[in-house]
Amino acid sequence: MNYSSVIQGFAIGPHHLDNGLVLAPMAGITDRPFRHLCRQLGAGLAVAEMVTSDTSLWHTKKSQKRLPHADDSLPISIQIAGSDPIQMAHAALANVNLGAQIIDINMGCPAKKVLKKAAGSALLRQPALVKDILTAVVAAVDVPVTLKIRTGWSADERNGVDIAKIAQDAGIQTLAVHGRTRACGFKGEVEYDTIAAIKQAIEIPVLANGDICTAQDAAKVLAHTQADGLMFGRAAQGNPWLFEQVLHYLEHGSELEAPLPSQIWQVLEQHLLGLYALYGDLMGPRIARKHVGWYLKPDLEQRKAFNQLPSQELQLAFLKAHFQHSSLRAA
């Protein structure tokens, strides 16, 4: 297969991506420090966390940190979620006025609190409403609009191809597709046939998403779907090196060596300092526990010990010692 669109990137409106590897928006995870890190380590685009289309709720500390900021990696892409076309259009414009350069629409989230508001993947059951939302948002802003969907609501209602055609006709410029239905949540095998069918049915760039955890996975999914790029979600948690590993494999056909303990510490230290700066002395160390848990996933005892540490200084000292010890063992 020719991986040129993945290796060399493609355009979303006026923005040419360095490559076709994209960090998926994940609430509570893809904050600015993590997005910066993934961009440094090879991601062509990192989409900000989902925000509600109800702008009256944007005054909260959580929302304020998720909205576009001047120090974001360019291009700034932010995802909105909702079910009212007028409200979604208003939220899109408000984000653009704050500095967003790409608006991404969520029609893939399977979370119950999102579905209760008839948003996220619940919209896939209402193609007419999908059309109204997409048309309203595209008309409201002068920046490109992208969309993330699933293959359908359930195995019996797998209408991803129809939704993709609606999206293209409405002016959506890139489509990301998670290879599960809403009913699947994040369980069970990912089904890539529908993504392949969507790629054949439309002309805009298509990103394949779902359980792409290694460079070899990436090559297999690209070969199966012929997608223009890939979107990575949970596989990037604690593993921001995934982007450069995939890019190297697609370009050279060989795998990069796994990062050394010293290299992991260097990246993790940068990640933690970013979290502390963004969230402050109290919340910074608390939020760091979640991220560090992914970096230390195989080492349950070290994770438990780290979670007891209340301050930035103790956390940094603990991890520095941990990775120095790991380096000595690897030598």
213 is catalytic: no
- Residue appearing with tokens 């990436």: 218
**Angle at the Cα of 46 from the Cα atoms of 255 and 65, rounded to 5 degrees:** 140
| Helices (H), ranges, the chain | 4-8, 32-40, 61-66, 85-98, 112-115, 127-140, 160-170, 193-201, 215-225, 242-252, 261-295, 300-306, 312-330
**CA geometry: angle at 134 spanning 130 and 140, to 5°?**
150
How far CA 78 is from CA of 124, 237, 324, in Å, comes to: 21, 19, 37
By DSSP bridging, strand 174-178 and strand 145-150 are parallel
Tokens of 226: 């012929």
User: Cis omega (within 30 of 0) on the bond before 261?
Assistant: no
Out of 38, 109, 184, 213, which one is annotated catalytic? 109
Give the catalytic positions in this structure.
Answer: 109
